[in-house]
Amino acid sequence: MPPYVHLSPSRTLTLHWPATGPQGLPSDGLSSFASGRQALFALATHLCPPERTGQVLLPVWVPEGVYLPFVRAGWRIIFYELDALANPDWRQLETLFAQYTFDLAVLIHYFGQSRDHLRMAELAKGHCPILEDWAHTYPNPYWRTPNKGNWALFSPTKLVGITDGAWLIGPNGISNSNKKGSWQKRYTYVFWQLLYLLASTFLQLRVPGNRIWKRISGGSYARGYQLLVELTNQAASISPLGAWLLRHTNHQKVVDNRIEQAIQYSEGLRNPHFQQLGKVGKEPFPWVGFLILVDDVKAFIAHLAQHNIRGQQFTDRWWFYEEVSLYPTARKLWQRHFLLPLHQNFSAEDIAYIIQVSNAYRKDDNSAGTTTL
Ligand SMILES: Cc1ncc(COP(=O)(O)O)c(C=O)c1O
């Protein structure tokens, strides 16, 4: 077995010169924020004045980062169900558009796999704008800005080694200057994120002190996450450090390597206990992780953990899980999904090793090893 210490999707610092920006983002109608959830909160307050209760249509397989901003903005949430492949239940959507009035409808391109946004936009036309949630992928020249009147979101902090940052693209820029916000909290958040990045970088580089780096990385991530949640309704721009790290990211490598790794997984994974969800290479978007559906996720996670491999999941510990798990198809996705790790710094040998370990999985291991998205 190769002497791997740690194969994790944790983001790491990888500085690149000369400084550049990511390709594919328009300059018009672009607003930058510290996080995706702040961008969504700002969008909610932009679309609906506080004296009226807004109404949003969300998919029922939804992460906290999408759900919470609308709760904080005081909006009413109506859910739509998905099919077994995590596409919207189009028929139900049609009924919902006919039945209710919405201020916004959200389409999530799960884990970077594009969904039929044209169909969604067509259905929503005349009712409300749509938000395409691209938080799990990265801008590239192939990406097209949303049609007139609609919005799109990116959250690069899910894929690259930056402390903070998110982009909202729409018909116009929207305000990211929060007069009442706490700058202490903002910068404490950036501090925890930086510590997390440093520790996970040391882990990836196999700097001696594996246990300590793991503890620091886990602890600072958790502290940062707490502040990320607290700051949801304090929309602010990306920090100067976040912007600097972003400019020193090798954007092309992020896109190319993640796409190549997904292809490698797709060709190499063979195991009757799980199946791949989504088609690789349909469109050139890098993915945050490689999505599979597993019969017994806990046992699979435990098996990977024995080989120091970690993946990601939407956790079922979010407080609204009980409500959304009433929807049968979404519940299955929630309970069975797992993301094998992708990382722009992984080599082909790293992925080959993860494939080998995954293929060797048989249904009877247990313990734990994931992070949540
Ligand atoms: C699909 C999706 N959209 C938006 C967000 C919110 O982004 P951020 O974590 O940058 O606030 C998340 C976070 O988990 C997400 O998974």
Per-residue pLDDT of 76-104, as tens digits, reads 999 999 999 999 999 999 999 999 999 99
What per-residue confidence (pLDDT) applies to 59? Answer: 98
Ligand 1 neighbour 35 (Cβ under 6 A): yes
Which of ligand 1's atoms lies nearest the C-alpha of 232? 11
Ligand 1 neighbour 350 (Cβ under 6 A): no
Residue 134 contacts residue 288 (beta carbons within 8 Å): no
Q: Which residue has the higher pLDDT, 9 or 281?
A: 9
What per-residue confidence (pLDDT) applies to 366? Answer: 52
Ligand 1 neighbour 337 (Cβ under 6 A): no
Distance between alpha carbon 133 and the CA centroid of its chain, in Å? 9
Q: Are strands 289-294 and 274-276 parallel, antiparallel or unpaired?
A: antiparallel
Q: Are strands 30-33 and 76-80 parallel, antiparallel or unpaired?
A: unpaired
- Report how far residue 69's alpha carbon sits from residue 187's, in angstroms, rounded to the nearest whole number: 20
Q: Which residues of 327-358 are buried (b: 16+ CB within 10 A; e: fewer)?
A: bebbbebbebbbbbbbbbbbeeebbebbbebb
- Please write the tens of the pLDDT for every residue from 168-198: 999 999 988 876 778 999 999 999 999 999 9
Look-up: residue for tokens 């994790």?
Answer: 8
Residue closest via CA to ligand 1's atom 2 equals 135
- Report how far residue 357's alpha carbon sits from residue 373's, in angstroms, rounded to the nearest whole number: 23
- Report how far residue 218's alpha carbon sits from residue 214's, in angstroms, rounded to the nearest whole number: 6
For residue 138, report the distance from its CA to the centre of ligand 1, in Å.
Answer: 13
Ligand 1 neighbour 132 (Cβ under 6 A): no
How many H-runs (helices) and E-runs (strands) does the chain carry? Answer: 12, 12
Q: What is the mean pLDDT of residues 287-297?
A: 97
- Report how far residue 77's alpha carbon sits from residue 56's, in angstroms, rounded to the nearest whole number: 5
- Report how far residue 297's alpha carbon sits from residue 366's, in angstroms, rounded to the nearest whole number: 10
Ligand 1 neighbour 106 (Cβ under 6 A): no
Substitution candidate for ligand 1 out of 31, 33, 35, 37 with most atoms within 8 A of CB: 37
Percent of the chain with pLDDT over 90: 88
- Report how far residue 145's alpha carbon sits from residue 140's, in angstroms, rounded to the nearest whole number: 11
What per-residue confidence (pLDDT) applies to 278? Answer: 87
Which of ligand 1's atoms lies nearest the C-alpha of 109? 1
- Report how far residue 275's alpha carbon sits from residue 193's, in angstroms, rounded to the nearest whole number: 34
For residue 259, give the nearest of 195, 351, 125 by alpha carbon: 351
Sheet containing 337-341: which strands, arranged edge to edge?
A: 274-276, 289-294, 337-341, 311-313, 370-372
Q: Which residues of 10-39 are buried (b: 16+ CB within 10 A; e: fewer)?
A: bbbbbeeeeeeebebbeeebbbbbbbbbbb
* pLDDT at residue 251 tops 80: yes
Question: For 1, which DSSP code?
Answer: -
Percentage helix, strand, coil for the chain under 3-state DSSP, each rounded to 5: 40, 15, 45
Sheet containing 104-108: which strands, arranged edge to edge?
A: 30-33, 166-169, 151-154, 130-133, 104-108, 55-59, 76-80
Ligand 1 neighbour 164 (Cβ under 6 A): no
Q: pTM to 2 decimals?
A: 0.95
Mean pLDDT of the chain: 94
Residue 292 contacts residue 269 (beta carbons within 8 Å): yes
Q: Which residues pair with 57 in a beta bridge?
A: 78, 105
Ligand 1 neighbour 278 (Cβ under 6 A): no
